Amino acid sequence: MPRKVILVTDGDEYARKAVEHVAAEIGGRCISLSSGNPSLLGGPDIVGLIKKAEKDPVLVMFDDSGLIGEGPGEAALKYVASHPDIEVLGIVAVASNTHQAEWTRVDVCIDRYGELTPNGVDKFGVQELETGRIYGDTVYCLDSLNVPIIVGIGDIGKMARRDHYALGAPITKKAVEIILERSGYYDQQE
């Protein structure tokens, strides 16, 4: 039975604290060792940790630390996403302030006020004018992956403190809940 996993394209300290909090709130697990700026663990190591996690869903972080092109976070993300023992429920795609070359298609975004929008959002969770895409530094490969849903949000754990883990990381939590709902995860649990 494949492990049910949500991928998160951020891994700094703020993101780690927020993702750990959200994983506990939804009754899942977070692979804290997958955090880092950039990610230090490779795909095979991360898959091993996912398989050891006590229960699903498992939230896993990947971070390229602003490197252009496919950095270590994205290489690990692609490996995990294509592994036969992993079922990716969805991806939380995190915006950054890089408007260089890297962007990805998103199915929906959540702004810093917790509102769903078809528009992209920036690092601060502010809606942008473009529909259906966000810019980020660990999103280069997401379009090539076959996943049920990609939810775009601003910088995890930040967004003018509106997503701080001390407040329950509400934007990140909402993104994860949308993924669990739209991927059919809740239906499978009943």
Which DSSP string do the residues of 126-182 spell out, in sequence order?
Answer: -EEEEESEEE-SS-TTGGGS--S-EEEESSTT-TTTTT-GGGT-HHHHHHHHHHHHH
pLDDT of the residue at 98: 66
pLDDT of the residue at 19: 97
Rounded alpha-carbon distances, angstroms, from residue 67 to 3, 71, 121, 135, 164: 29, 6, 20, 13, 25
**Sequential pLDDT tens for the chain (190 residues):** 899 999 999 999 999 999 999 999 999 999 998 988 888 899 999 999 999 999 999 999 998 877 667 778 889 999 999 999 999 999 999 998 765 667 889 999 999 999 999 999 999 999 998 899 998 878 878 988 999 999 999 999 999 899 999 999 999 999 999 999 999 888 887 7
Helices 170-182 and 13-26: angle between axes, nearest 10 degrees: 50
pLDDT of the residue at 96: 85
